């Protein structure tokens, strides 16, 4: 290839999805130039609890290349779900279902993989403008802007994505929650996470994710516009948690919007939080974000090697999107209830055997997989109207 005629892929955002996408594109296409532009001056993880499904991690192409055991702080078998008026659902399986990982360590491992295959990572480079075939970049410490050319641009720039903003079609009323997370000591059931629903967390919930029997991440999310720190104070006042040595860990946004209509515009693709690849039920974005990075990388590879249409990206995302749409519908359905109605629903589901059902067939990433086994639980028939209402949600 004549120098200067190489294909250039620029990725905005050096979080896990941007670095992973960069790594895969370069690994599959060594002759393509891949550059990651990251506004932070070093690899520092975004706010996260690091709670991921074991299945989700194992199904990624990343699994054989990363020592997940080394990054695992804790293994979890299930969850306590507390309704607004105290109804408790308990889901617990014999086998471990999820991991609590060291997010910073995880991101660093992906960075290492990307660097090893020859990805160029430019820290301290903030994209401030997106044009047809170049991005405008502000370099930290400098007072001038530079232009960086691209043939393909990938927006992996998180919830407030500038690449998504450059798409002509905008989503109506995008939905985000603001979060506030502490790390604290206490007496925790090591292999169980907890979710607390109530008015303290308007539009979301509070969580406890243990890293050990004595240390946990305690967080809360609340509808954008509310103060998440105040929500946390309120939660701690009403909850029975006894915490000590609490210290503030981080605050951040989680996109919980309806899936976008489009993930690609011309030669620009969105991955991770930038494309709202987040489960609206739980705010978990790692698995679907990394999956979107894989799909973007394989779509681009098909473009480079087989001259396939890059617009296939939307088609290739179909399975992920239909699951994310279901998460969105479940979330909307739950929050359409008053606290009393929601608690009653939990009680009725409990009476119908939801705990046993989830112990056997629960799937925190792919809720559609729980539909066929419902036939073994005839008691759920009485919820058919509720299920129809849920499906009809737009
Ligand atoms: C409190 C909290 C807890 C969470 N807990 C979990 C959890 O337990 N499990 C889970 O699966 N998910 C969790 N999430 C979600 C998860 O953290 C995200 O889904 C994940 O970080 C998305 O990765 P990403 O690479 O797409 O985006 P990010 O991690 O947000 O990375 C985007 C990167 O882009 C950079 N950037 C942004 N704009 C620009 C620009 N203009 N130019 C250059 N660089 C730019 C940012 O600096 C950042 O490094 C949590 C989120 C929050 C807020």
| Tens digits of residue pLDDT in 205-230 | 999 999 999 999 999 999 999 999 99
CA 45 to ligand 1: nearest atom: 29
* Choice among 40-49, 325-334, 338-347 with the minimum mean pLDDT: 40-49
> Is the predicted pLDDT of residue 3 greater than 90, yes or no?
no
Residues 238-263, mean pLDDT to the nearest whole number: 95
Same structural domain, 220 and 231: yes
CA 157 to ligand 1: nearest atom: 34
DSSP state of 258: P
Residues 371-386, mean pLDDT to the nearest whole number: 83
Same structural domain, 132 and 244: no
pLDDT of residue 21: 98
Same structural domain, 300 and 353: no
359 assigned to some structural domain = yes
DSSP state of 369: G
Could you tell me the end-to-end alpha-carbon distance of the chain, in angstroms, rounded to an integer? 49
> Is the predicted pLDDT of residue 79 greater than 60, yes or no?
yes
The protein residue whose alpha carbon is closest to atom 2 in ligand 1 is: 48
Same structural domain, 266 and 380: no
Q: How far apart are CA 298 and CA 271, in angstroms?
A: 13
67 assigned to some structural domain = no
Same structural domain, 124 and 265: yes
Say how many domains are in the chain. 3
58 assigned to some structural domain = no
Same structural domain, 145 and 111: yes
Q: Based on the number of CB atoms within 10 Å of its own CB, is 256 exposed (0-12), middle (13-18) or buried (19 or more)?
A: buried
Q: How far apart are CA 157 and CA 257, in angstroms?
A: 16
Same structural domain, 95 and 110: no
Same structural domain, 275 and 354: no
* Choice among 25-29, 125-129, 331-335 with the minimum mean pLDDT: 331-335
Which of 285, 293, 294, 320 maximizes ligand 1 atoms within 8 Å of its Cβ, making it the mutation to test the pocket? 285
**What is the average pLDDT value for the chain, to the nearest integer?**
94
Residues 22-43, mean pLDDT to the nearest whole number: 95
CA 13 to ligand 1: nearest atom: 34
Q: 């098909």: which residue's tokens?
A: 302
> Burial code of 368-387, b = ≥16 C-beta within 10 A, e = fewer?
eeeeeeeeebeebeebeeee
Ligand 1 pocket by Cβ (under 6 Å): 12-18, 37-40, 46-52, 126-127, 156-158, 162, 179, 181, 219, 252, 254, 272-273, 278, 283-287, 289
- Are 244 and 185 in contact by the 8 Å Cβ rule? The answer is yes
Domain residues for the domain of 84 are 73-100+176-255
pLDDT of residue 4: 60
CA 289 to ligand 1: nearest atom: 26
Same structural domain, 230 and 366: no
Q: 């987040």: which residue's tokens?
A: 278
pLDDT of residue 42: 84
> Is the predicted pLDDT of residue 311 greater than 70, yes or no?
yes
350 assigned to some structural domain = yes
For residue 2, how far is its CA from the centre of ligand 1 (angstroms)? 37
For residue 123, how far is its CA from the centre of ligand 1 (angstroms)? 16
For residue 46, how far is its CA from the centre of ligand 1 (angstroms)? 5
pLDDT of residue 375: 79
> Is the predicted pLDDT of residue 2 greater than 70, yes or no?
no
> Which among 112, 102, 114, 105 is positioned nearest to 18, based on CA atoms?
114
Residues 100-119, mean pLDDT to the nearest whole number: 97
CATH number at residue 20: 3.50.50.60
> Is the predicted pLDDT of residue 383 greater than 60, yes or no?
yes
Between 148 and 378, the higher pLDDT residue: 148
Q: At 267, is the pLDDT very low, low, confident or very high (cuts 50, 70, 90)?
A: very high
- Three-class secondary structure of residue 268 per DSSP: strand
At residue 46, φ and ψ (nearest 5 deg) are: -75, 170
Residues 37-56, mean pLDDT to the nearest whole number: 91
Which of 286, 287, 290, 364 maximizes ligand 1 atoms within 8 Å of its Cβ, making it the mutation to test the pocket? 286
- DSSP annotation string for 291-333: HHHHHHHHHHHHHHHH---TTHHHHHTHHHHHHHHHHHHHHHH
> Burial code of 31-57, b = ≥16 C-beta within 10 A, e = fewer?
ebbbbbbbbbeebebbebbbbbbbebb
CA 137 to ligand 1: nearest atom: 42
Residues 94-116, mean pLDDT to the nearest whole number: 97
Q: How far apart are CA 369 and CA 149, in angstroms?
A: 43
- Are 178 and 224 in contact by the 8 Å Cβ rule? The answer is yes
Listed residues 268, 286, 316: the one ending a domain: 316
* Choice among 5-9, 99-103, 118-122, 148-152 with the minimum mean pLDDT: 5-9
Cα–Cα–Cα angle for 291, 293, 297, nearest 5°? 120
pLDDT of residue 5: 61
């Amino acid at each position: 290839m004549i120098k200067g005629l190489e294909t250039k892929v620029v990725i905005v955002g050096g979080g896990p999805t941007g670095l992973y996408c960069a790594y895969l594109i370069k690994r599959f296409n060594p002759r393509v130039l891949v550059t990651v532009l990251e506004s932070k001056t070093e690899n520092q993880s975004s706010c996260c609890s690091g709670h991921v499904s074991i299945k989700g991690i194992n199904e990624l192409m990343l699994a054989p290349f990363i020592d997940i055991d080394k990054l695992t702080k804790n293994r979890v078998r299930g969850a306590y779900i507390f309704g607004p008026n105290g109804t408790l659902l308990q889901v617990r399986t014999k086998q471990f279902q999820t991991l609590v990982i060291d997010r910073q360590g995880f991101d660093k491992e992906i960075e290492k993989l990307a660097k090893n295959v020859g990805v160029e990572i430019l820290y301290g480079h903030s994209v401030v403008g997106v044009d047809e075939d170049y991005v405008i970049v502000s370099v930290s410490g400098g007072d001038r802007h530079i232009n960086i050319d691209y043939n393909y641009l990938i927006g992996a720039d998180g919830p407030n994505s500038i690449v998504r903003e450059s798409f002509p079609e905008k989503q109506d009323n995008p939905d985000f929650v603001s979060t506030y997370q502490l790390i604290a000591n206490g007496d925790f059931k090591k292999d169980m996470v907890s979710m607390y629903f109530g008015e303290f967390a308007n539009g979301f919930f509070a969580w406890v994710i243990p890293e050990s029997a004595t240390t946990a991440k305690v967080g809360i999310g609340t509808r954008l516009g509310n103060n998440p720190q105040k929500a946390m104070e309120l939660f701690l006042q009403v909850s029975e948690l006894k915490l000590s040595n609490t210290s503030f860990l981080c605050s951040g946004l989680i996109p919980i919007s309806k899936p976008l209509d489009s993930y690609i515009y011309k030669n620009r693709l969105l991955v991770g939080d930038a494309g709202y690849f987040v489960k609206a039920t739980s705010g978990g974005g790692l698995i679907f974000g990394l999956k979107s990075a894989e799909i973007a990388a394989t779509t681009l590879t098909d473009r480079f090697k087989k001259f396939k249409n890059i617009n296939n990206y939307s088609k290739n995302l179909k399975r992920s999107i239909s699951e994310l749409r279901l998460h969105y519908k479940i979330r909307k359905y739950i929050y359409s209830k008053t606290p009393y109605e929601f608690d009653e629903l939990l009680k009725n589901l409990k009476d119908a055997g939801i705990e046993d059902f989830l112990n056997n067939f629960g799937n925190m990433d792919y809720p559609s997989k729980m539909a066929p086994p419902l036939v073994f639980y005839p008691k759920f028939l009485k919820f058919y109207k509720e299920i129809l209402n849920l499906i009809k949600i737009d």
